[in-house]
Amino acid sequence: MKLSAILLATIFVGTTLNTQAVESLDRVAIIVNNGIVLQSEIGNLVSSVKRRSLEAKQALPSDRVLRTQATERLIDKVLKEQMAERMGMRIGDAQLDQTIEGIAREQKMTINQLKDVIEQAGDNFANYRESIRSELLLSQVERISVRRRVNISEQEIDNLVTIMQEHGKTNTEYHIGHILISTDSSPEAQKLSRTRADKVLAMLKKGDDFKRIAITSSSGPKALEGGDWGFMNINEMPTLFTDAVKGHKAGDIIGPIKSGNGFHILTVFEIKGKQQVEVNEVNSRHILIKPSIILSDERAKEMLNDFVKQIKAGTTTFSDLAKEHSADPGSAVKGGELGWSDPSIYVPAFKNVLAKLEKDEISAPFLSSHGWHIIQFIGRRNVDATDKFVKNRAYQLLFNRKFSEESAAWSRELRSQAYIEIVSTDD
């Protein structure tokens, strides 16, 4: 994770305000069901986007446009937080601390050094911690809510494997930019949206900055990031993107393309090939304990520490404990064994702990987004890109594509079912 990514994670961080400023800013701007968005939250998000764009030397639209985009982002945030509350989800301090330690480690920093960087950028570290907690919660509720909507058949996997093998598209990645001019189903709205999309397209073809126009005009999920979707393999893009970018080169402007929710304009910032590498597979077994209202983080960790002691004392085996106690039903029946896999499929916390273990070594209890784990490392092997690897890759590409599409649909459904009243978004 680059330093800019760390700073991006502070997107909801509020800078320190004096009492007078709080009194003038902390008015209700938006009512979202039984929740609210404050004027100060909108202002803080706008300031964060401005600071990030200044660091990237990125041109920005007017404050009014930024406040409109910030308003949309914060409405989505509140709706997801309300969903998390209904689901009884929370991010405990232990998970938060582990995530921040991971951010610092990826930047080759200590926690204190990370704190200094955050505060030198003008943010309060306590606020930064809470922004990371919020981002973790929003990510978790989206992942759980959307994942159940994603269905992938064996036939779809086999079809994609055939395409990948015939056309060699596994090695090419596209850096995509996206602008959405949203509309509804009425003919009048669609006509107005098409006119707006044509005007945006004309500005882009004259050489206007794509990212600035995206922040100004887009209703897409990456609007405040300048419409930047990052690098994607053609097979994991939303279907709309896949069909549109075929045959295009870096710098091309593509669209407008009509879909059910509006008109899309795309660009290809960059195209790059990925190096074929030998696959480094690992095998391990784990025991997962999921905290709940009844079972605290502390108790889950204590249970796993006790399991480690029992295994080392020889009074039981890892396999028996996994079968009896693990909350991962897929591996529990196999004594916790996960089988030979590319370690990149695991969540970062799990992957990082696994990478440090020696053969047959058992980890200390640690927390991931799934719960508390202990791992026993079984072995490592290097293999060529086998049929199994290609099939797993195909599954992941399809999952990423469908997750992106279903995530957008899920967000629209949350909006359509919510009561939203704009009270005021002006300073």
Which residue from 287, 291, 297, 362 is spatially nearest to 325, judged by alpha carbons?
A: 287
- Domain assignment present for 283: yes
- Domain assignment present for 332: yes
The helix-helix angle for 63-86 and 39-55 (nearest 10°) equals 120
Whether residues 87 and 216 fall in one domain: no
Give the count of beta carbons closer than 10 Å to the beta carbon of residue 333. 12
Q: How far apart are the C-alpha atoms of 78 and 36, rounded to whole Å?
A: 8
Residue ranges for the chain with pLDDT beneath 70: 1-25, 165-171, 274-279, 384-387, 425-427
* Predicted pLDDT at 170: 53
Whether residues 137 and 13 fall in one domain: yes
For the four alpha carbons of 313, 319, 320 and 325, in that order, the dihedral sign comes to positive
The answer to whether 342 and 389 have CB atoms below 8 angstroms apart is: yes
Whether residues 402 and 334 fall in one domain: no
Final residue of a structural domain among 113, 148, 183:
148
- Domain assignment present for 164: no
Whether residues 33 and 89 fall in one domain: yes
Whether residues 232 and 288 fall in one domain: no
Whether residues 252 and 303 fall in one domain: no
Whether residues 45 and 138 fall in one domain: yes
pLDDT tens per residue, range 358-386: 999 999 999 988 889 999 999 988 776 55
Q: What Rg do the C-alpha atoms of the chain give, in angstroms? A: 24
Whether residues 15 and 120 fall in one domain: yes
| Three-class secondary structure of residue 418 per DSSP | coil
Q: How far apart are the C-alpha atoms of 106 and 113, rounded to whole Å?
A: 12
Containing structural domain, residue 115: 3-148
- Domain assignment present for 427: no
The answer to whether 279 and 385 have CB atoms below 8 angstroms apart is: yes
- Domain assignment present for 19: yes
- Pull the structure tokens for residue 18: 């004096």
Whether residues 190 and 334 fall in one domain: no
Whether residues 261 and 178 fall in one domain: yes
- Domain assignment present for 425: no
Whether residues 8 and 143 fall in one domain: yes
**CATH number of 7's domain:** 1.10.4030.10
Task: Provide φ and ψ at 300, rounded to 5°.
Answer: -60, -45
**CATH number of 330's domain:** 3.10.50.40
- Domain assignment present for 260: yes
Q: How far apart are the C-alpha atoms of 412 and 401, rounded to whole Å?
A: 17
* Predicted pLDDT at 22: 42
Q: How far apart are the C-alpha atoms of 23 and 19, rounded to whole Å?
A: 6
Number of domains in the chain: 3
The answer to whether 262 and 193 have CB atoms below 8 angstroms apart is: yes
* Predicted pLDDT at 386: 58
- Pull the structure tokens for residue 136: 């973790």
Whether residues 219 and 264 fall in one domain: yes
DSSP string, 272-286: EEPPP--EEEEEEEE
- Domain assignment present for 81: yes
* Predicted pLDDT at 305: 95
CA 419 to chain centre: 26
Classify burial at 18, counting beta carbons within 10 Å of its beta carbon; exposed 0-12, middle 13-18, buried 19 or more. Answer: exposed
187: region left, alpha or beta (phi > 0 left; psi from -120 to 50 alpha) = alpha
Final residue of a structural domain among 148, 182, 215:
148
Helices (H), 206-270: 210-217, 239-245
Helices (H), 247-347: 297-313, 318-325, 329-332
